[in-house]
Amino acid sequence: MSSCCGPTPSSLDPSSLDQTQAVEDRYGAAAAEQEACLCTPVAFDPSLLKPIPQDVVDRDYGCGDPTRWVRSGDAVLDLGSGSGKNAFICAQVVGATGQVIGVDRNADMLALSRSAAPVVAERIGYANVGFLEGAIEALDATNAQGEPLVADSSIDVVLSNCVLNLVNPSARQQLLQNIRRVLRPAGRVAISDIVCDRSVPMALQQDAELWSGCISGAWLEEAFLEDFRALGFEQVQYAERSETPWRVVEGIEFRAVTLTGALPNG
């Protein structure tokens, strides 16, 4: 395992880790300077990358390509939109009649994606992307007018690229319920993330580097499927699953998957 992604004695702390702060610190730095150890490189359609500024592409950290399940005309919600690369790819796929909303809580990543939005719009010929500041588990947080960050039943497809595992464990159910809330009937999910074959022990969960590196917050592979089935999604499956583990830490296998599923129509 690469030393930049492994546990270090100084990062192990017997007290409870503030996962949110660990993620904020690491991704804030990664917005300014590319970090090779965040998640795993994935090939994207070069034609869809062409209109996107290179610094946005370089500072994207994912483990799959959930944009492949987006359709023309979709309203897309990208959870943990980061540099904006996935959102800008979706902008081209959905076309001028579609809409893309990115949500991220990291100020540095939001500055990067927002500054790139008018550049991409000019290059593709229309503007259909917006980036909101907020926690992906709190899409129901209200503004001064009492409106939620993302409205009920307003989205056709929710996607995410190696971000759900970064959410504090205590907020996972809130995250899942918000995904369900914002989707329209027949709404879909395409979630690329890291799963593991055995439960991650507390010592690893409390390692800031492993947590922010998309490792120790991983869902159990079967539990990830079951959690989406419990929300009412049908045809829940791993449309993609790496046979070879991405990382092995203390005998636990971590691999990249893309989970897909759809709600009933009505």
**pLDDT at res. 17:** 46
Q: What are the pLDDT digits (tens) for 88-145? A: 999 999 999 999 999 999 999 999 999 999 999 999 999 999 999 999 999 999 988 9
Query: What DSSP assignment string belongs to the chain?
Result: --GGGS--GGGB-SSPP-HHHHHHHHHHHHHHS--TTSS------HHHHTTS-HHHHHT---SS-GGGG--TT-EEEEET-TTSHHHHHHHHHH-TT-EEEEEE--HHHHHHHHHHHHHHHHHHT---EEEEES-GGGTT-B-TTS-BSS-TT-EEEEEEES-GGGS-GGGHHHHHHHHHHHEEEEEEEEEEEEEESSPPPHHHHTBHHHHHTTSTTPEEHHHHHHHHHHTT-EEEEEEEE-SS-SEEETTEEEEEEEEEEE----
**pLDDT at res. 207:** 67
Question: Which residues of the chain fall short of a pLDDT of 50?
Answer: 1-19, 22-38
**pLDDT at res. 39:** 53
**pLDDT at res. 111:** 97
Supply the pTM of this predicted model: 0.84
Cα 253 to the center of its chain, rounded Å? 20
Q: What are the pLDDT digits (tens) for 177-189? A: 999 999 999 999 9
**pLDDT at res. 210:** 63
**pLDDT at res. 35:** 39
**pLDDT at res. 166:** 85
